[in-house]
Amino acid sequence: MIGFGMIFDDTYRPVFEAQTDGPLYSRLTGPVDVRLTAAASRTGIRAARYLASPAGRRVPFANFAGPNATANLLASGVDAVCVATPDDRHYDAARAAINAGKHVLIEKPSVLALGELDELNRLASERGVLAKVVYHKLADPDHKKLRTLYQDGVLSHVNSGYCSLLEPKSISGGQFAEWIAGRNPATYVAVHYLKLIDFSFGPNWVLDRVSATGQRGLVGPANGSTWDSVQLQIVYRHPDAREAAFDVHTSWVTPDNFPGYVEQEVQFRFDNAVWSAHQRKRGVELTVENRTPGELKYTPNYHYNGTFLEPWGERSQRGYGIEIIERFFKEVAFVEYGGSPDQRPARLAQMRALAYNDLSADRNCVAIVQALEAILARAAGGAPGCVAKVNGPAGGLVLYEPGSAKPLVLYEGRV
């Protein structure tokens, strides 16, 4: 585990804790044990605290900290590596892990530039390992149904939509304060919806262009490079040449006493349908004196991640945020133990062909993130209103600035 922060505690910890109670199993692999054996982070403080807790004492692991933490972890004999560092530090950790021949799972967004994605994909092929990214929204039952209805032709021809994801101020002001300078909330969370759109309504369309704007002044100075909120627009073109446009709004300055922890809603419009969904207003409303909306939420989403007393008496923590990580280990287990060693390349190819999480299928999302970062950097530098064109005559990802005749090529190859 490289990076041992909030998301480790939310989703990876429950996976590893559940694995100590019983192995992964399928008929092809037989039982496969998954163990957290090493962690690397900046200070090692959270990992040390966890190791000292009753749950941590059940899964002892090596705790590496400081500048050589990743190298020490890779030398410690791990088989697979999960990267959950801040988003601008995914690439170095993932590259080192893949280069060392480890299967890798990276938190979203996988990387911030197409050149980095190319390098990770090239190395993964060369070393014969999986390189995957976590997009848990694809495992949300509502989103699975959305995609199923679209792929089955019940919802026909998506035309437009909006997605909104608003994080509380405690994220920008406390949780992420160490690394937030120069960052924006869209790279961090819009990617959930970028992948949902790209995966659910693809693959028979092409990404055409990206634009974005946003607000500053709360997390950092009003003329600085740290963003409070961002409005991103992406445009795809269907094979019949009709366009589809999506607006994705993100923020990390919503009040902390907001009724639900994260405010998320979507609407997608089709030739024959409208799909509207709210992530937390799924029917439960709860008020507890002195405990909501701080510790407990008024409108909780127990489908993502919840702690339960199961009807059969066990305590559990589960949800699609956890299931998506377990699924990675099932894919690793299938590659390594799902049949004879001489068939490993075929099993690896089968798992690498899964577009929902393979880095080779993350090109559109990374292109949008790279364009977004460039557009926001230009805006902070005094040139708002840039548009990035995808796979046009001037290159794979090209930035056009209002009033300037000279485009800036961000990526030459085809996206």
Tell whether residue 42 is a contact of ligand NAD (CB under 6 A).
Answer: yes
Find the binding residues for ligand NAD in span 91-110 (CB under 6 A). Answer: 93, 107-108
Backbone angles phi, psi at 251, to 5 degrees: -155, 155
Residue number of the CB closest to ligand NAD reads 5
Distance CA 258, CA 87 (A): 25
Q: Please identify, using beta-carbon distances, which residue of 117 and 158 lies nearer to ligand NAD.
A: 117
* CB neighbours of residue 285 within 10 Å: 12
E strand or H helix at 390:
strand 387-392
C-beta of 12: minimal distance to ligand NAD in Å?
A: 9
Spell out a b/e string for 355-370, using b for 16 or more CB atoms within 10 Å of the CB, else e. ebbbbbbbbbbbbbbb
Which of these segments, 1-9, 234-242, 269-277, 341-349, binds ligand NAD (CB under 6 A)? Answer: 1-9
Q: Which residue has the tokens 């068939």?
A: 343
Task: List the structure tokens of 305.
Answer: 């991640």
Specify whether the CB–CB gap between 51 and 61 falls below 8 A.
yes
Q: Which of 19, 29, 41, 250 binds ligand NAD (CB under 6 A)?
A: 41
Q: Please identify, using beta-carbon distances, which residue of 134 and 332 lies nearer to ligand NAD.
A: 134
C-beta of 211: minimal distance to ligand NAD in Å?
A: 23
Specify whether the CB–CB gap between 34 and 82 falls below 8 A.
no
Tell whether residue 254 is a contact of ligand NAD (CB under 6 A).
Answer: no
Find the binding residues for ligand NAD in span 123-142 (CB under 6 A). Answer: 134, 136
Residue length of the chain? 415
**3-state SS class at 123:** helix
Backbone angles phi, psi at 3, to 5 degrees: 95, 125
Q: Please identify, using beta-carbon distances, which residue of 200 and 391 lies nearer to ligand NAD.
A: 200
- Binding residues for ligand NAD, rule CB under 6 A, total 26
Tell whether residue 188 is a contact of ligand NAD (CB under 6 A).
Answer: yes
Q: Which of 176, 246, 252, 334 binds ligand NAD (CB under 6 A)?
A: 176
Binding mask 70-89 for ligand NAD (x = CB under 6 A): x-------------xxxx-x
Distance CA 401, CA 380 (A): 13
Which residues are at the interface with ligand NAD (CB under 6 A)? 2-8, 40-43, 69-70, 84-87, 89, 93, 107-108, 134, 136, 175-176, 188
